[in-house]
């Protein structure tokens, strides 16, 4: 308690921006506060400047994060795209870019692409490579978060147990965190979207269907990182629908973008993928509107059980299919409010995402920022720096 990392937390959250406020909030002696602050300044994570405001005499000096020398990279990998965002540790977006890129190209090509974009973005932002302290990556498949390795991802051939973090840590002195893309989307929503709820479900409806869970203001991953995989919950009466996981009747196989595109194509309305389905819906195609509404009900049936179990404040719907807007959301709302308990839905909101296409990259960036600013991470880094300094002095 009251370690340098804890002090940094007060500064980064905006709870204190002067040494006097830190002393008042922590109860530490001013000399102890000075030691903590000076250590953080020497580490390059905090800076102290004159505020410019004065009522006479010397202007007060304020503490803030050193955003000039500390940046992170947020990466959103989808089935067919890669979006890379450069952010400072205060969360401000400095530069970003999205490119078409197929995840099936394999890890070597995809990660090399990210590496190239990192260099381009930091050059565009006028920052040195050394300013990048961490990379957050969201991938469209299950991830063992502790190791950052994808585990049997259905649409990512060649990625199973691939050491994604090591690709970058073997080249640069930075940290790498890898998570499922919908977890990054959930984090991006509560930090950058219009729904800052402490208990939230983010439902991504694209080729597949997944759910990111914010519980008590924190991302919930479960024991092995597979929490929220609602796309493979069975939909009653749909046993004839084969799923890529090997089972039948999964929600994804019934209501995912690929499943809807296949049904429309069979009915004589060619649709290559979920985006094509959305285009048909938005053009007023009656069959597409009906199928998307039905898909919304199927998704809502699954979510109704989660609402009764988890009692979230908000359900946010994103992904490619969310662009279908009202037909999808209307179906989701209809099933949830019909099948969930009144108390659980009393103040529940079901809304489209407020972060748009940038949500995944912003959320992955936030994942990296939270890691960089975590008190335990700061304390470990400072202890390692002090040990290295002592070793050098002994020589």
pLDDT (tens digit per residue) in 4-51: 999 999 999 999 999 999 999 999 999 999 999 999 999 999 999 887
395 token code pair:
């020589």
Burial of 330 (0-12, 13-18, 19+ CB in 10 A): middle
Q: Hey, is 93 helix, strand or coil?
A: strand
- What is the average pLDDT across 267-289? 94
Residues listed for the chain: 395
Close Cβ partners of 195 (under 8 Å, ≥ 6 residues apart): 189, 314, 316, 349, 351, 354
* Range scoring the smallest mean pLDDT among 104-118, 235-249, 338-352: 235-249
Nearest alpha-carbon partner for 365 in 169, 149, 114: 114
DSSP state, 379?
H
Write out pLDDT tens, residues 353-374: 988 889 999 999 999 999 999 9
Q: Does residue 277 contact residue 292 with C-beta atoms inside 8 Å?
A: yes
How are strands ordered across the β-sheet holding 81-88?
93-100, 81-88, 71-77, 132-139, 175-180
pTM of the model: 0.91
239 token code pair:
């046993």
**Per-residue model confidence (pLDDT) at position 52:** 58
* Residue 20: half-sphere exposure toward Cβ, Cα within 13 Å: 3
pLDDT of 160 strictly over 70 = yes
Alpha-carbon distance 259 to 292, whole Å? Answer: 11
**Per-residue model confidence (pLDDT) at position 30:** 93
* Range scoring the smallest mean pLDDT among 43-47, 131-135, 334-338, 388-392: 388-392
Alpha-carbon distance 187 to 175, whole Å? Answer: 19
pLDDT of 57 strictly over 70 = no
pLDDT of 191 strictly over 60 = yes
% of the chain with per-residue pLDDT over 70: 97
**Per-residue model confidence (pLDDT) at position 53:** 61
- What is the average pLDDT across 310-316? 97
- What is the average pLDDT across 251-269? 94
pLDDT of 159 strictly over 60 = yes
**Per-residue model confidence (pLDDT) at position 245:** 83
268: left (phi over 0), alpha (psi -120 to 50) or beta: left
Close Cβ partners of 179 (under 8 Å, ≥ 6 residues apart): 136, 137, 138, 139, 143, 145, 221, 225, 364, 367
With cut-offs at 50, 70 and 90, classify the pLDDT of residue 165: very high
DSSP state, 79?
S
pLDDT of 55 strictly over 70 = no
Write out pLDDT tens, residues 68-127: 999 999 999 988 899 999 999 999 999 999 999 999 999 999 999 999 999 999 999 999
């Amino acid at each position: 308690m009251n370690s340098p990392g804890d002090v940094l937390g007060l500064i980064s959250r905006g709870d204190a921006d002067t040494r006097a406020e830190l002393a008042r909030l922590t109860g530490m002696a001013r000399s102890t506060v000075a030691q903590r602050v000076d250590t953080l300044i020497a580490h390059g994570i905090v800076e102290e400047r004159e505020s410019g405001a004065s009522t006479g005499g010397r202007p007060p000096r304020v503490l803030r994060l050193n955003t000039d020398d500390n940046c992170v990279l947020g990466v959103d990998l989808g089935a067919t795209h890669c979006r890379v965002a450069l952010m400072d540790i205060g969360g401000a977006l400095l530069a970003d870019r999205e490119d078409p890129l197929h995840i099936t190209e394999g890890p070597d090509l995809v990660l090399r692409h990210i590496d190239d974009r990192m260099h381009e973005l930091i050059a565009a932002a006028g920052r040195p490579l050394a300013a990048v302290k961490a990379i957050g990556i969201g991938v469209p498949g299950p991830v063992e978060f502790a190791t950052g390795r994808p585990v049997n991802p259905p649409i990512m051939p060649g990625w199973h147990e691939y050491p994604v973090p090591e690709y970058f840590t073997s080249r640069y002195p930075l940290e790498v965190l890898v998570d499922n893309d919908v977890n990054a989307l959930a984090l991006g929503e509560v930090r950058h979207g219009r729904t800052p709820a402490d208990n939230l479900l983010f439902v991504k409806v694209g080729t597949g269907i997944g759910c990111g869970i914010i519980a008590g203001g924190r991302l919930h991953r479960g024991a092995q990182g597979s929490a929220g995989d609602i796309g493979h919950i069975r939909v009653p009466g749909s046993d004839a629908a084969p799923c890529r996981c090997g089972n039948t009747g999964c929600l994804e196989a019934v209501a995912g973008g690929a499943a809807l595109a296949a049904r429309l194509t069979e009915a004589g309305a060619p649709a290559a993928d979920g985006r094509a389905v959305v285009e048909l819906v938005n053009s007023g195609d009656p069959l597409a509107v009906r199928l998307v509404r039905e898909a919304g009900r199927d998704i809502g049936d699954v979510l109704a059980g989660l609402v009764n179990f988890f009692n979230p404040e908000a359900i946010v719907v994103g992904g490619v299919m969310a662009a279908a807007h009202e037909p999808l959301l209307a179906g989701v709302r209809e099933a949830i409010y019909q099948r969930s308990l009144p108390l659980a839905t009393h103040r529940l909101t079901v809304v489209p995402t407020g972060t748009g296409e940038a949500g995944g990259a912003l959320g992955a960036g936030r994942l990296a920022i939270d890691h960089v600013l975590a008190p335990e991470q700061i304390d470990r880094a400072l202890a390692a720096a002090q040990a290295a300094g002592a070793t050098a002095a002994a020589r």
